[in-house]
Amino acid sequence: MLKSEPSRTPYTPTALQLYGAVAVGVLSVSSASVLIRLTPAPANAIAFWRLILTALLLMPVVLRQSPTWLSLRHLKLFTISGLFLALHFIFWIQSLMILPVALSTALVSTHPLLIALYTRIVRKQPFPTRIKIGLASAMLGLVILPIGAAWSFHQTAGMVDALLGALFAGLYLMAGKHSRQSLSASQYSFGTYLMSSFLLFLINMFQKHSLGPVNGHVMILYLLMAIIPTLGGHTTFNWLLRFMPAGQVSMAMIGEIPGSAMLAWLILRQMPSWTVWISLIFLTLGIVMTLRSTKEPTPANSDL
C-alpha cells in the first residue's frame, strides 16, 4: 500500500477503491476515542506521543523518496496544517475527558459545517441537491444528539472544547486539500505529523506540563493510536483528499460517531441514550447521500 516513489503515470482510483478507503478510514478513526479514554495521561501528552510515533513509523517510507519535495514552501504548509492538527487534538481530547464518547465525538464532527460554509460563501460553489440533503440530515443528527445530555458548567466547558476541536479539524482538512495537490499522502502526513508533534512539544514546555507518564502500558496504547486511528484513519483521509472534495472527506469522517459510540458501549460500557440512536439514523443517511454524490475522481498522481 505504501510506495517509495510517487507514480509518474496518471492514476484514477475506482469508486470501489474510494468507498473502501472511506470504510477503512472510518473504522480506524473510530477506535481513537476509546483508546484515548483508556490512556491515563493529559491531553497534550496523548496528542504528542500519538503524532511523533506515527511520524517515526512513516519515516522509512519518506526517506526512500526523492528529497525534492523538501522546500520552504512545503515547510510553511506543514507548519499551518500541523498547528491546526495540534489544536484539534488538544481541544478534542480535553472534551473527551469530560463528556461521554458519543457526545464529544459528535460535537467535534461538526467540521463539515465550516467546510460547507467556506465552499459556498468564499469559493462560490453551489451544492448539488443530494449533498444538500445529506448535509441537512447529518446536521439534524448532530442537533438531536446532545438533547439528552446533563447540563452543567463542566459539561458546557467540554462541549466548547469539542466545538473548538471541530473548528480546527475543518481548518486542518482545508489546509490538507491545498497541500495534497503537490505532495504525496506519505510526504504530507509525515511533514504535518512531525511539525504538529514539535509544536505540541513547545506548547507543553511553555505550559510546563509533563509528557508523561511513560511506561509499557501507556506506550502500547500510544502505539495503537499511531497505527490504527492515525495511520489507518487520518493518513487514509489524507490520501482521499487528492481525489475527493474536502467537504465530502469531512462528511465521511462523521462515520466516526456511530463507530465510536458502538466501541464505547462494548469496551467502556457507555450505553448510548435514545437520542444517540435516533441521531445515528440521520447521520448514516447523511453520509450515504453525500458519498453517493461523489463525482468521478480527476486523474492524479497516486501514492502514499
DSSP 3-state of 244: coil
Cell of 1: 500500500
Nearest to 142 by CA among 119, 118, 122, 114: 114
Q: Which of 119-128, 200-209, 223-232, 235-244 has the lowest mean pLDDT?
A: 119-128
For residue range 224-275, list pLDDT tens digits in order.
999 999 999 988 998 998 888 877 887 788 788 888 988 999 999 888 777 7
Span 27-50, average pLDDT: 93
- pLDDT at res. 126: 76
Q: What percent of the chain has pLDDT over 90?
A: 35
Residues 6+ apart with CB under 8 A from 298: 12, 243
Range with the largest mean pLDDT of 60-69, 278-287, 295-304 = 60-69
pTM of the predicted model, to two decimals?
0.81
Chain mean pLDDT for the chain: 83
SS3 call for 218? helix
pLDDT in the model for residue 295: 47
Q: Answer yes or no: is pLDDT of 293 > 70.
A: no
The three state secondary structure string of 45-67 is HHHHHHHHHHHHHHHHHHHCCCH
Integer Cα distance of 230 and 201 in angstroms: 18
Stretch 142-152: mean pLDDT: 72
**Does residue 153 register a pLDDT over 70?**
yes
- 74-85 average pLDDT score: 92
Task: For residue 207, give every residue at least 6 positions away whose Cβ sits within 8 Å of its Cβ, in sequence order, or none.
Answer: 44
Per-residue pLDDT, 150: 63
Start-to-end CA distance of the chain, whole Å, equals 7
Closest alpha carbon to 289 in 251, 241, 245: 251
Q: Tell me what pLDDT residue 148 has.
A: 66
Q: Which of 4-13, 31-40, 285-294 has the lowest mean pLDDT?
A: 4-13
pLDDT at 6 (0 to 100)? 44
For residue 115 the three cell numbers come to: 467546510
* Helical axes 72-96 vs 185-206, angle rounded to 10°: 60
Overall average pLDDT of the 203-221 stretch? 88
**What whole-number distance in Å separates Cα of residue 70 and Cα of residue 150?**
49
Answer whether residue 112 shows pLDDT above 90.
no
Span 137-151, mean pLDDT? 75
In this prediction, residue 3 has a pLDDT band, given cuts at 50, 70 and 90, of very low
Q: How many helices (H) and strands (E) does the chain have?
A: 14, 2
Cβ neighbors of 258 (< 8 A, separation 6 or more) are 30, 280, 283, 284
